[in-house]
Chains A and B, each alone.
Chain A
Amino acid sequence: MTAYPGRIAATPRRRGVGSRIAAAGRHALGLPMLLLVVWALVATRATSRFFPDPVTIADAFVDTWVGPAFVEDVLPSLARLGLGAAASIVVGIAAGTVIGLTPWLRELLEPLLEFLRAVPPPVLIPVMMILLGITDTMKVVVIVSGAVWPILLNTIEGVRSTDSVMTETARSFRVTWWERLWFLVLPAASPRIMAGVRQALSVALILMVISEMFASSSGLGYRIAYFQRNYLIAEMWSGILLLGLVGVLLAVAFGLVERRVLRWYHGIREVHRA
């Protein structure tokens, strides 16, 4: 079904695979290249010290981050991010499933969760600093306490909206609780859960950076703030670049996982649309 329109569209143009890839490449890289060139031209002409040209930033990038700084600053940051995100996913899905499947518990907690979700996550950093001191645990807890809400609430919603006919069918076939959870409830909720995880990842990244800007003497966020305070402009830009790369890689990795987990779901949507 899906191959059919593709063939129609491809035939009249009679273009080879090579030229199509080239066209896609032009589209994908054309504008970024153009902007880089414009930036370089503007940066060399202008006198502003705050916007060094791309070559200087690239040099600073290699000097700053390739070497011991990678082990001392970048890896610990990423480890905290990974730990916090993983804990949020586990806690969010587990608690969300329980709450979503228990109507009275859901009604009991609903207003409270609405409020807790609405608290801007970065204000939890000072709270956790008071409660836990300036430690690695504090930073991971901060990440979890901000990133868990989108997953938790989306899981509750997803679990709740499981198709009732399917639930009753499973029940009348005496499918056990665990099997029902594993084969029906969680798959049915997975599109919502993944949407929650996507939000949670960006919150986690933000919290990783800010918690380090606030209370740390190492880490990516701390370094960038340090460079800025010492007017190391190119180094600061290279840090922003690195954070951007981390964000992009996280988004790409998530996209791959999501496509794998939700393959069946996207398949159904394709069929519906065709």
Chain B
Amino acid sequence: MRPSPTRRLRAVRRALLGVVGLAGFLAVWQTVPALGLIDPQYLPYVTDVLARLAEQLVDLAFWRRLGSTMTSWAIGLTVATVAAVGLGTVVGLVPFLRRATHTMVEFLRPIPSVALIPLAVLMFGIQRQAALVIIVYASFWQVFVQVIYGVADVDTVARDTALSFGLRRREQWTQLVLPTTLPYLMTGLRLAAAVALILAITAEMVIGNPGLGRMIELSRSAGDAVGLYALVVVTGLLGLAVNLVFRFVERRTLSWHQSVRGEQTP
């Protein structure tokens, strides 16, 4: 084997290759309509799309839509998380409840939340509440299942030790249950954040409450391909930002945990 280069050099190489990959993708995107492989009416030039993107960034209406989508996202995610942590803790700690709810959970969880869109529209009409039903339903299960596993996963030796040392109730919560559950909760939260964003935008597309999703649907029906592609890029960047932020938060809150510490040592 060759001697490995220093780590910094490798990181630079990685970053460079990544940039080259992105640039290559953009170049291919530009070439395909230029060569006439696909009509620019259907696949617009990447330069046009990026120009539109830049236009959007100084447009107040665009930011209002973005804010609307992210508000639905934030409300939905918060409601789902609070409910899932509360219910998940109770169900996870009481064996009887866990057994009794098991089939119920296994039946409700795989129901695609978009199946509830018609119901939500009937109940709330073309409003944010209808979108929230879908968002909360989808992201609830992600957190709920993780919290149930997490709360039930307390190490038996640790629990016995805590008992024999006479830890009080509150100490048991902070020293035993919380540290065990936190990694599970953070995983659930990260998944739920991504799912909530997907459904916030989906709901706007299908239901038609104001936001980026509705704008996407409007651009399509107006035949504005450039605007459509620009908005798709925006939603991708948004999804990327959500992923990165939650991964960062996860690493920060779990900096003491083996799964994060193990990664940092070479």
Residues of A in contact with B (beta carbons under 8 Å apart):
27-32, 35, 50, 104, 107-112, 114-127, 129-131, 202, 205-206, 209-210, 213-214, 221, 224-225, 227-228, 231, 233, 236-237, 239-240, 243-244, 247-248, 250-251
B131 part of interface (Cβ distance < 8 Å): no
User: Once the chains bind, are A27 and B100 in contact (CB under 8 Å)?
Assistant: yes
Question: What residue in chain B is nearest A248 (Cβ atoms)?
Answer: B110
Say whether, besides A27-B102, A50-B122, A122-B202, A247 and B111 are in contact (CB < 8 Å): yes
Say whether, besides A115-B240, A209-B112, A236-B118, A126 and B201 are in contact (CB < 8 Å): no
Which of B198, B220, B232 is A129 in contact with, Cβ under 8 Å?
B220
Q: How far is the CB of A68 from chain B (nearest CB, A)?
A: 22
User: Once the chains bind, are A107 and B232 in contact (CB under 8 Å)?
Assistant: no
Which of B104, B220, B231 is A31 in contact with, Cβ under 8 Å?
B104
- The residues in B between 179 and 238 inclusive whose CB is less than 8 angstroms from any CB of A are 194, 197-198, 201-202, 205-206, 213, 216-217, 219-220, 225, 228-229, 231-232, 235-238
Query: Which A residues touch B104, using CB under 8 A?
Result: 31-32, 35
User: Once the chains bind, are B21 and A110 in contact (CB under 8 Å)?
Assistant: yes
Query: Which B residues touch A28, using CB under 8 A?
Result: 102-103
Question: What residue in chain B is nearest A242 (Cβ atoms)?
Answer: B115
- For the complex, what is the distance from the CA of A244 to the CA of B202, rounded to whole Å? 19
Which of A115, A228, A231, A248 is B236 in contact with, Cβ under 8 Å?
A115
User: Once the chains bind, are B21 and A111 in contact (CB under 8 Å)?
Assistant: yes
- For the complex, what is the distance from the CA of A248 to the CA of B112, rounded to whole Å? 10
Query: Which A residues touch B228, using CB under 8 A?
Result: 126-127, 130
Which of B11-19, B78-86, B160-168, B254-262 is found at the contact surface with chain A?
Answer: B11-19
User: Once the chains bind, are A50 and B123 in contact (CB under 8 Å)?
Assistant: yes
Main secondary structure on chain A at its contact with chain B? Answer: helix
Query: Which B residues touch A244, using CB under 8 A?
Result: 107-108, 110-111, 115
- The residues in B between 146 and 189 inclusive whose CB is less than 8 angstroms from any CB of A are none
- For the complex, what is the distance from the CA of A236 to the CA of B43, rounded to whole Å? 37
Query: Which B residues touch A221, using CB under 8 A?
Result: 114
User: Once the chains bind, are A205 and B213 in contact (CB under 8 Å)?
Assistant: no
Question: What residue in chain A is nearest B200 (Cβ atoms)?
Answer: A120
- For the complex, what is the distance from the CA of A153 to the CA of B188, rounded to whole Å? 19
User: Once the chains bind, are B112 and A202 in contact (CB under 8 Å)?
Assistant: yes
User: Once the chains bind, are A112 and B118 in contact (CB under 8 Å)?
Assistant: no
**B interface size (C-beta, 8 A):** 61
Q: How far is the CB of B52 from chain A (nearest CB, A)?
A: 15
User: Once the chains bind, are B118 and A227 in contact (CB under 8 Å)?
Assistant: yes
User: Once the chains bind, are B42 and A130 in contact (CB under 8 Å)?
Assistant: yes
Question: What residue in chain A is nearest B109 (Cβ atoms)?
Answer: A251
Query: Which A residues touch B202, using CB under 8 A?
Result: 120, 122, 206, 210
Ranked nearest first, the 5 interchain pairs of A and B with the lowest CB-CB distance are A228-B118, A118-B239, A247-B110, A119-B236, A126-B220
User: Once the chains bind, are A206 and B231 in contact (CB under 8 Å)?
Assistant: no
B99 part of interface (Cβ distance < 8 Å): yes
Query: Which B residues touch A228, using CB under 8 A?
Result: 118-119, 121-122
User: Once the chains bind, are B205 and A122 in contact (CB under 8 Å)?
Assistant: yes
Query: Which A residues touch B201, using CB under 8 A?
Result: 120, 122-123
Q: How far is the CB of A52 from chain B (nearest CB, A)?
A: 12
Q: How far is the CB of B110 from chain A (nearest CB, A)?
A: 4
User: Once the chains bind, are A131 and B115 in contact (CB under 8 Å)?
Assistant: no
Q: How far is the CB of A92 from chain B (nearest CB, A)?
A: 18
User: Once the chains bind, are A251 and B106 in contact (CB under 8 Å)?
Assistant: yes
Question: A130-B228, A247-B110 are known contacts; what are 9 more A-B pairs with Cβ within 8 Å?
Answer: A28-B103, A107-B17, A115-B240, A118-B243, A119-B236, A121-B198, A126-B219, A202-B112, A224-B115
Query: Which A residues touch B102, using CB under 8 A?
Result: 27-28
